[in-house]
């Protein structure tokens, strides 16, 4: 019933509008305004341009104030401070260009609206003017692009030697992170070794660098030290976006990518800066990857360097949590498993491992770690 | 030479082919005249109507996802009759359909509306009329061009309704997402149809483009030298060149994708583990696809924009009653843009893992392209200066175009700066940028063109008052919709997100802005129906047009109000001057059409014209 009434209402409005339109045409015909070159409308349109200008730039001016309070807090990475500056400088330049061109663009229609007693100027070209407005933008752009290029080169330069590194992998629809562990080396992987159980990274267990790698639930990085993200994707494209750090890079299956930056503020410092006790650094996906693209949130924590070291020490290696994978490790390499003593394993287990590998469950209970 | 039915002709054109037999009378039947027509004017109108229908569909899709973004809590049960199982049981939009809607919206708007609708309509309609030709070089190819587009349209339209939904990987269809049906259902049949449809689209576009180029080069009437061509024609000509050079690359990209999808090749795929298994593909590169795609993709944005700029040049000059300022500079900058548009594509790929050095190169090249763009904007503004401006709806849309072209274009300077693009890539900042500079600007050019040439197309006038309302509503509308997106972008809002609530940083505080944008979008979209009404009403009941309603200089206004196939009943007019002799000092009227010889305008001839005239006069006496 309701929707019926709505439909009737809409129809009535449309019919009314239609008749208004017809009356308007008749009135114009009677007034003979179709015979004149321009009518009153020309004046109305002419004056609407300056009005539009005032309303448009006025509201932008007003809203800029409120919006700026919502912008991301100051950059939490060192390079971000530079790019933010460059951004706002460029913004100022282009805003100026927009305002000046629009003053002219919206004033001229008003000023030079049709007047039958006047003739337009015959002014087909002016080389001097044209040179000026070719060269000035060219110079301004060159300056901007020069600083942009310097910054870009710095940001994309090779990461310093002492950088903390971690691996992040995008998959539908989550992120996974792996740290190198005590040896400082992220172990090799092979996508064919990925399985449906725990080896989501496809860690190649023939590489002993993998033995101490750990897979935490959130990213921790130390303040003030360069951090390298080694980025990969498991299935389709994803993109690692860290808005607070002004950093972004696609995750590409088959082509590892990377970025690095130096965090400036710890999470708790950021809580103070933003005045938000709940503040968390968030990571988002910015490359369309399917159904859950919008919900690939991940948390990143910036610690004081000491806290970071402590946190790192507390982490248990992936292998220690997934003992059933030990059977994939060549026997001669098992001695490299940290804190893992082969002696403690009774021979019975050893044979199980060697022969089948299918009784992994019973096995994992028996292997022991001395933490 | 065109093979045109000229049986209505009374006189023979200077370049006509002399097979005029008054007795050889073959009236075309309805089908040959209006459906499988070879008349460029009819084909232009076919493109126009199809393009407008697509605009409604593309617009409606955006309404659906603006509903989701602006009113995420709303119950969308009432859309069930239309969207069926894409509305979930709790009356929400399915996230996969959201992506499909975004994808189809982009595809439809970029290719079907702003490429086929805009270029197809006006290149077809105007090239022969403005250069003084009886038809395109090949009317048959031209007809094929439309019908390939038609079939392509039917397939794309059909894909909206299949069970697994249309393509959903974004209009850029990046693999592996677009290659793997396991990854998203839209990459199944929907993607296949997308690829087939686009392949046909490319064929259509090539057939059209080759025809436009040939026609402009070969069929210009006597006196219509390149430096007298109206800027519309220059724009269509260069657009066609861009299209002919870049669309084949998209075709190749699509073909390789088809191979990867269906025949197990690995051009774009490598190291993929999905759906519980490792795929066989190794050695391919998803980045390769992006290079190929954007090799078309960036020129494509100019394919969409240049015709709009050409149309605007013509309309601004005519209605300012002033020559276009810097005619040569306009041509120069268009040629510059054409060339540069081929060597900036990787600015879409700064953060894909491409070599950063390459990024630097593309950053430099990209910022060069801003210079000719700026020159064009300045030239438009100077054309208005000291004009005597008549605000037809077409003129309003043209001024509006210049405005959105500037506001949208300047942010390109930020995005083209690789260091700044790191943060802004794939955020709403990019969405704001290209909807203003490409979406709105080209749409305004499209509308300007329709308002301006409607009298020539249908012999009727559109209602002006409705045109004014349409313009102001749309002009305010696009700013209200797209300007706030800059703020969202600066705050980091990623594109193609179904919802932002999962994040604290994009949290609730911004919902007001999204709501605002959506309401503005609904009103702007609804406003377009004013135009729709005006369009169809005027075709049937509009005021009859006069021969040259805007007092314009170009040749199309020398044809009869209802030109037949062949355009001019008599001889094709000869051209004696450029198209921009408006308000020439000494002339009686404030315009001198191109076909008026210098001998008839002695009082207004410029010194070099007088010289030329004397030169010509002297010759026969020798
Ligand atoms: C002043 C000159 C321009 C410059 C420097 C420029 C620069 C850029 C850059 C760098 C991007 C990539 C941003 C990103 O994805 O992160 C971009 C995106 C885009 N630009 Fe421009 N642009 C300019 C003018 C134009 C024009 C005239 C058009 C259309 C006619 C246009 C249409 C687009 C489109 C459609 C995209 C987005 C494509 C997508 O990612 O889906 N741009 N522009
Ligand atoms: Cu994603
Ligand atoms: Cu581009």
Torsion of CA B126, B130, B132, B138, to 10 degrees: -30
pLDDT at residue B617 in the model:
55
Check if the beta carbon of residue A205 is closer than 8 Å to that of residue A329.
Answer: yes
| Cβ neighbours around B470 below 10 Å, total | 25
Per-residue pLDDT of A6-22, as tens digits, reads 889 888 888 888 888 88
- Helix-, strand-, coil-residue percentages of chain B, each rounded to 5: 65, 0, 35
Q: Measure B277 CA to nearest chain A CA, in Å.
A: 8
Does B414 sit within 8 Å of A94, measured CB to CB? yes
pLDDT at residue A351 in the model:
41
pLDDT at residue B604 in the model:
87
Which chain B positions have a beta carbon within 8 Å of A94's beta carbon?
410-411, 413-414
- B158: Cα within 13 Å, side-chain hemisphere: 14
pLDDT at residue A343 in the model:
52
Burial of B464 (0-12, 13-18, 19+ CB in 10 A): buried
Per-residue pLDDT of A280-334, as tens digits, reads 999 999 999 999 999 999 999 999 999 999 999 999 999 888 888 888 888 888 8
ipTM reported for the complex, 2 dp = 0.90
Mean local confidence (pLDDT), B382-396: 94
The residue ranking higher by pLDDT, A5 or B56, is B56
Is B336's pLDDT higher than 50? yes
**Interacting residues of B526 by C-beta distance below 8 A, sequence separation 6+:** none
Check if the beta carbon of residue B513 is closer than 8 Å to that of residue B54.
Answer: no
Which chain B positions have a beta carbon within 8 Å of A38's beta carbon?
390-391
pLDDT at residue A20 in the model:
85
Which chain A positions have a beta carbon within 8 Å of B287's beta carbon?
252, 255
pLDDT at residue A347 in the model:
43
Domain boundaries, chain A: 2-115, 164-321
Q: Measure B438 CA to nearest chain A CA, in Å.
A: 17
Q: Which ligand ends up closest to the CA of B366? A: 1
Does B580 sit within 8 Å of A124, measured CB to CB? yes
Question: Of all atoms in ligand 1, which is nearest to the CA of residue B442?
Answer: 30
Q: Chain A window 314-343: which residues touch B at a Cβ cutoff of 8 Å?
A: none
Mutate to test the pocket of ligand 1, among B361, B376, B433, B435 (most ligand atoms within 8 A of CB): B433
Per-residue pLDDT of B570-580, as tens digits, reads 899 999 999 99
- Report pTM: 0.91
Q: Which ligand ends up closest to the CA of B347? A: 1
Q: How far apart are CA B492 and CA B10, in angstroms?
A: 67
Q: How confident is the model at residue A353 (pLDDT cuts 50, 70, 90)?
A: very low
Calculate how far, in angstroms, residue A302's C-alpha sits from the geometric centre of ligand 3: 36
- For residue A244, the 8-state DSSP code is G
The residue ranking higher by pLDDT, B240 or A35, is B240
pLDDT at residue B508 in the model:
62
Does A120 sit within 8 Å of B381, measured CB to CB? no
- Considering only CB atoms, B351 lies closest to which of A34, A115, A250, namely A250
Chain B interface, best mutation among A11, A136, A152, A169, by max B CB count within 10 A: A152
Per-residue pLDDT of B45-68, as tens digits, reads 999 999 999 999 999 999 999 999
Is B501's pLDDT higher than 50? yes
Question: Of all atoms in ligand 1, which is nearest to the CA of residue B421?
Answer: 16
pLDDT at residue B1 in the model:
37
Does B174 sit within 8 Å of A287, measured CB to CB? yes
Q: Measure A181 CA to nearest chain B CA, in Å.
A: 25
Interface membership of A273 toward B (CB under 8 Å): no
The residue ranking higher by pLDDT, A81 or B25, is A81
Domains of chain B, with CATH numbers? 6-270+285-558 (1.20.210.10)
> CB of B489 closer than 6 A to ligand 1?
no
pLDDT at residue B17 in the model:
43
Is A225's pLDDT higher than 80? yes
Nearest CA in chain A to B512: A67
| Cβ neighbours around A193 below 10 Å, total | 17
Interface membership of A174 toward B (CB under 8 Å): no
pLDDT at residue B19 in the model:
42
Q: How confident is the model at residue A342 (pLDDT cuts 50, 70, 90)?
A: low
**Interacting residues of B239 by C-beta distance below 8 A, sequence separation 6+:** B119, B123, B209, B212, B302, B303, B306, B307, B310
> CB of B374 closer than 6 A to ligand 1?
no
Q: Measure B4 CA to nearest chain A CA, in Å.
A: 37
Q: What CATH number does domain A164-321 carry, 1.10.3720.10, 2.60.40.420, 3.30.565.10, 3.40.50.720?
A: 2.60.40.420
Q: How confident is the model at residue B4 (pLDDT cuts 50, 70, 90)?
A: very low
Q: How far apart are CA B321 and CA B387, in angstroms?
A: 6
Does B399 sit within 8 Å of A288, measured CB to CB? no
Q: Measure A17 CA to nearest chain B CA, in Å.
A: 10
Question: Of all atoms in ligand 1, which is nearest to the CA of residue B367?
Answer: 5
Range from A105-119, A329-343, B133-147 carrying the lowest mean pLDDT: A329-343
pLDDT at residue B502 in the model:
87
Question: Of all atoms in ligand 1, which is nearest to the CA of residue B405?
Answer: 27
Q: What is the mean pLDDT of chain B?
A: 90
Is B620's pLDDT higher than 50? no
The residue ranking higher by pLDDT, B480 or B24, is B480
The residue ranking higher by pLDDT, A359 or A135, is A135
Does A236 sit within 8 Å of B270, measured CB to CB? no
Per-residue pLDDT of B245-276, as tens digits, reads 999 999 999 999 999 999 989 999 999 999 88
Per-residue pLDDT of B76-124, as tens digits, reads 888 888 888 888 888 889 999 999 999 999 999 999 999 999 999 999 9
Mean local confidence (pLDDT), A329-349: 68
Count of CB contacts below 8 A, A vs B? 347
Q: Which residues pair with A166 in a beta bridge?
A: A229
Torsion of CA B607, B611, B612, B613, to 10 degrees: 100
Per-residue pLDDT of B268-296, as tens digits, reads 999 999 988 899 999 999 999 999 999 99
Is A246's pLDDT higher than 90? yes
Q: Which tokens is B574 given?
A: 């000869």
Per-residue pLDDT of B179-202, as tens digits, reads 999 999 999 999 999 999 999 999
With vertex at residue A150, the alpha carbon angle to CA A149 and CA A151, rounded to the nearest 5 degrees, is 90
Check if the beta carbon of residue B604 is closer than 8 Å to that of residue B591.
Answer: no
Q: What is the mean pLDDT of chain A?
A: 87
- Is the link from the previous residue into A294 a cis peptide, with omega within 30 of 0? no
Q: How far apart are CA B249 and CA B442, in angstroms?
A: 23
Is B615's pLDDT higher than 90? no
- Considering only CB atoms, A284 lies closest to which of B464, B494, B509, namely B494
Q: How confident is the model at residue B616 (pLDDT cuts 50, 70, 90)?
A: low
Tell me the DSSP string of A75-129.
Answer: PSBHHHHHHHHHHHHHHHHHHHHHHHHHHHHHHHHHHTB--TT---------HHH
């Amino acid at each position: 019933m309701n929707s019926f009434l709505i439909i009737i209402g809409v129809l009535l409005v449309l019919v009314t509008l239609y008749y208004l339109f017809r009356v308007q045409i008749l009135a114009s015909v009677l007034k003979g305004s179709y015979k004149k070159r321009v009518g009153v409308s020309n004046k109305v349109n002419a004056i609407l341009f300056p009005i539009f200008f005032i309303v448009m730039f006025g509201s932008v001016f007003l809203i800029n104030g409120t919006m700026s309070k919502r912008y991301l807090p100051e950059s939490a990475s060192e390079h971000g401070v530079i790019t933010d500056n460059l951004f706002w400088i460029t913004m100022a330049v282009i805003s100026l260009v927009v305002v000046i061109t629009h003053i002219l663009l919206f004033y001229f229609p008003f000023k030079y609206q049709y007047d039958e007693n006047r003739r337009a100027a015959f002014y087909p070209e002016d080389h001097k003017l044209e040179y000026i407005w070719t060269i000035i933008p060219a110079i301004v752009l060159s300056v901007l692009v020069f600083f942009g290029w310097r910054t870009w080169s710095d940001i994309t330069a090779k990461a310093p030697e002492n950088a903390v590194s971690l691996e992040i992998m995008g998959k539908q629809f989550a992120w996974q992170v792996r740290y190198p562990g005590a040896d400082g080396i992220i172990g090799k992987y092979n996508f064919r070794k990925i399985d449906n159980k725990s080896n989501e990274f496809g860690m190649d267990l023939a590489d002993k660098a993998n033995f101490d790698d750990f897979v935490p639930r959130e990213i921790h990085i130390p303040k003030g030290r360069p951090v390298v993200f080694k980025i990969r994707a498991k299935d389709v494209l994803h993109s690692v976006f860290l808005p607070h750090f002004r950093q972004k890079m696609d995750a590409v299956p088959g082509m590892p990518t990377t970025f690095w930056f130096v965090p400036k503020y710890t999470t708790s410092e950021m809580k103070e800066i933003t005045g938000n006790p709940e503040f968390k650094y968030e990571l988002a996906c910015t490359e369309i990857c399917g159904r859950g693209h919008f919900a690939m949130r991940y948390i990143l924590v910036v610690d004081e360097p000491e806290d970071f070291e402590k946190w790192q020490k507390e982490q248990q290696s992936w292998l220690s949590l997934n003992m059933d994978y030990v059977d994939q490790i060549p026997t001669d390499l098992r001695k490299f498993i940290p804190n893992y003593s082969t002696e403690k394993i009774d021979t019975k287990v050893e044979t199980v491992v060697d022969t089948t590998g299918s009784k992994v469950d019973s096995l994992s209970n028996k292997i022991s770690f001395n933490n | 030479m065109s093979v045109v039915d000229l049986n209505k002709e009374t006189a023979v054109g200077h370049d006509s082919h002399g097979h005029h037999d008054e007795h050889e009378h073959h009236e075309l039947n309805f089908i040959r005249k209006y459906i499988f027509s070879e008349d460029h004017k009819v084909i232009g109108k076919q493109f126009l109507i199809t393009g407008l229908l697509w605009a409604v569909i593309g617009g409606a899709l955006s309404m659906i996802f603006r509903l989701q973004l602006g009113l995420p809590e709303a119950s969308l049960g009432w859309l069930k009759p239309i969207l069926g199982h894409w509305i979930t049981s709790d009356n929400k939009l399915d996230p996969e359909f959201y992506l499909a809607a975004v994808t189809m919206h982009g595809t439809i708007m970029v290719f079907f509306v702003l490429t086929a609708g805009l270029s197809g309509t006006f290149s077809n309609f105007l090239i022969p009329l403005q250069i003084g030709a009886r038809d395109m070089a090949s009317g048959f190819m031209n007809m094929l061009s439309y019908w390939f587009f038609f079939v392509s349209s039917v397939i794309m339209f059909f894909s909206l309704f299949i069970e697994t939904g249309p393509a959903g990987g974004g209009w850029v269809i990046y693999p592996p997402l677009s290659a793997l049906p396991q990854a998203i259902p839209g990459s199944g049949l929907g993607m296949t149809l997308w690829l087939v449809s686009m392949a046909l689209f490319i064929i259509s576009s090539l057939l059209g483009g080759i025809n436009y180029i040939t026609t402009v080069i070969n069929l210009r009437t006597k006196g219509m030298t390149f430096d007298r061509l109206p800027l519309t024609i220059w724009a269509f000509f260069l657009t066609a060149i861009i299209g002919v050079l870049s669309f084949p690359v998209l075709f190749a990209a699509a073909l390789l994708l088809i191979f990867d999808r269906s025949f197990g090749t690995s051009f774009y795929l490598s190291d993929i583990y999905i759906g519980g298994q490792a795929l066989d593909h190794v050695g391919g590169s998803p980045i390769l696809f992006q290079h190929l795609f954007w090799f078309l993709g960036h020129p494509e944005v100019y394919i969409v924009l240049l015709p709009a700029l050409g149309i605007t040049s013509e309309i601004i000059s005519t209605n300012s009653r002033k020559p276009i300022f810097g005619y040569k500079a306009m041509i120069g900058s268009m040629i510059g843009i054409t060339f540069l548009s081929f060597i900036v594509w990787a600015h879409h790929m700064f953060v894909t893992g491409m070599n950063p050095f390459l990024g630097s190169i593309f950053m430099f090249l990209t910022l060069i392209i801003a210079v000719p763009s700026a020159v064009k904007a300045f030239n438009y503004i100077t054309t208005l200066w000291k004009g005597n401006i008549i605000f037809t709806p077409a003129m309003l849309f043209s001024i509006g175009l210049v405005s959105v072209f500037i506001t949208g274009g300047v942010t390109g300077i930020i995005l083209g700066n690789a260091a700044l693009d790191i943060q802004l890539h794939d955020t709403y900042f990019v969405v704001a940028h290209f909807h203003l500079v490409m979406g709105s600007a080209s749409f305004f050019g499209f509308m300007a063109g329709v308002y301006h040439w409607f009298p020539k197309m249908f012999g009727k006038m559109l209602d002006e008052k409705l045109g004014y309302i349409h313009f102001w509503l749309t002009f305010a509308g696009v700013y209200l919709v797209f300007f706030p997106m800059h703020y969202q972008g600066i705050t980091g809002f990623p594109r193609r997100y179904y919802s932002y609530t999962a994040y604290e940083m994009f949290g609730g505080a911004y919902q007001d802005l999204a709501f605002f944008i959506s309401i503005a979008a609904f009103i702007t979209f609804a406003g377009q129906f004013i135009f729709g009404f005006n369009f169809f009403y005027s075709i049937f009941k509009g005021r009859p047009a006069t021969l040259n309603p805007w007092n314009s200089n170009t040749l199309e206004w020398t044809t009869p109000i209802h030109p037949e196939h062949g355009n001019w009943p008599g001889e094709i007019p000869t051209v004696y001057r450029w198209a921009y002799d408006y308000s020439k000092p000494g002339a009686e009227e404030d315009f001198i059409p191109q076909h008026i010889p210098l001998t008839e305008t002695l009082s207004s001839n410029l010194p070099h014209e007088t010289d030329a005239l004397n030169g010509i006069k002297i010759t026969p006496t020798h």
